Amino acid sequence: MMNSRLFKFLLNIYPPYIGAGIRIRKVAPDFREIVVQMRLRWYNRNYFNTHFGGSLYAMVDPFYCLMLVQVLGKDYIVWDQAATIEFLKPGRGMVLAVLKIDDEQVQEILSQTADGRKYLPEYAVAVCDEAGEQVARVNKVLYIRKKDNLTPKNQ
């Protein structure tokens, strides 16, 4: 798997993130925590002088999937299945999102996929402003399955 420092570096030079002004501030060595931020700039604001909604979503979009690919290893298939975003208030200034995966969540994935079935866990992430108030809430649904059972019972 990949080193967390290299992972962070590669994401910070990823052209869509540069273009949106998204910065990865932290990637834990075990990939169980990622901190992402985005400052309001002339190139990522909307007509109302607030954060463009697509950029708010983009700043959290791939991370649970990428984190779990690293945590679970090469024996698992991990895909984004679905997502929703709820805009709670206008985002101004810097916004921040902290994405975490704990031991209990990993154990749940391992037990739910042990017999080769798919598992569709949901993860919620808050995008907060500098005062710590939520500006958006993103819900992600992932598809996770062990690779060794190519014809699962419940695909």
Residue 101: give its domain's CATH number. Answer: 3.10.129.10
Q: Which two three-digit tokens encode residue 103?
A: 């031991």
* Domain-embedded: residue 56: yes
Total number of domains constituting the chain: 1
* Domain-embedded: residue 41: yes
Kindly give, in sequence order, each residue whose CB lies less than 8 Å from that of residue 99, ignoring residues fewer than 6 positions away: 33, 34, 35, 36, 60, 63, 64, 67, 123, 125
Range of the domain at 91: 4-146
pTM (2 d.p.): 0.90
* Domain-embedded: residue 155: no
* Domain-embedded: residue 153: no
Beta bridge partners of 76: 146
Q: Are 24 and 47 within 8 A, CB to CB?
A: no
CA 63 – CA 35 distance, rounded (Å): 10
| Residue type at position 45 | R
* Domain-embedded: residue 74: yes
* Domain-embedded: residue 152: no
The rounded average pLDDT for each run of 10 residues, N- to C-terminus, in the chain (155 residues) is 93 94 97 97 93 95 96 96 97 97 98 96 97 97 87 54
Q: What percent of the chain has pLDDT over 70?
A: 95
Give pLDDT, residue 29: 97
